[in-house]
Structure 1
Amino acid sequence: MTLYTLPSAAMSEAPQRLAAALEAHASTKALAGFMAAAGRAGDLVDNSLPHLQELVRLTIVNLVLTRPGIDDGGELERLADGIASDEDMDVLNEDETKEILRYVLDGDWDMPGALALAANLYLQNNPAPDTEIIDAALEEMTSFLDAQSSAAAVPGPVHEIVLLQPGTLEERKAA
């Protein structure tokens, strides 16, 4: 088995984590192609919310939904296709183990680590990870990254935490 050296200096965090999660199970060719595309895309993936969310969605669709037992009722697949019914959402809301997938597919999750989490859901307790499935997923994501690499990175939203403390502004400045 050949392991690809991680990380690439030009690659953003999301593809680095995904490659690290899959490197022991992917073919060298598929992993190298994905890493090259991620390197060309650079900061685009982590700094553009739509690009990050689409890459996460592709990871879920191409890895998690292919594993037997993850989506027996098809609710996650319908959510990924944008046609989930209220009944589908009720079923998904009952299963806490699918909460992460539900958030990702519903477009509400923008954490770069989501790609590695999705890959780990495919690999976790999987007695025989299928290299062909992993390679196909990496090739799909490589195509996506190559198609987007000419686009300019659009910064994602700024998340701020506001800490409230008792006292006046002057007291806080003095402290």
Structure 2
Amino acid sequence: MPSSFSPSIEIPMLSNAPTDNLYKFATFIGMALFVFCTWQMSDTAQQIERQLYDTRMQQHILMLRLRDSQASLERLEQATDNPTDQQKEILKKQLDALGRESETMRTQWETNLVEEGRAQLHQLQYVEDDKTLLQVGQWGGLALSVIGIVLWYLLHQRHQDGLLRQQRQSAEVNKTI
């Protein structure tokens, strides 16, 4: 009589799951977080310094232009002693040009002050908010990496090393028999 018994298929089971990947993942994520936060802190600080440097250089250039305008104005004042009609026309054109230039410099000066204020505000916000958050990310990433390495060694690698030692000892015993 034919049997209705079907053969069972055995699926090999792992003695322990490969959890070392989880610890390696934590280690690499921690290192990536540490590197990113360190890079971001450095990059943000450099951007702020660059903005402040640019506005200070622009301010210096405007100061030099202002001195040139003042020197031109002094020359015009000296030339106004008993001018002829032709000299009056020339002086008027020069004064008009000087007035336009001073208006342009005033506008640039205001723009420069606004840019410098923005850069300083960005610097304050960075120091108050972003830097603290990035430092927490740095230390958290470093801690996560250390925890991942320690857990990998204590919970996985140490046992793997023990199994390897047992296999080696078993092989030595079988070899001597």
TM-score (norm 2): 0.21
Higher helix share: 2
TM-score (norm 1): 0.21
Asked which structure has the greater RCO (Cα within 8 Å, sep 6+), the reply is 2
Larger Rg: 2
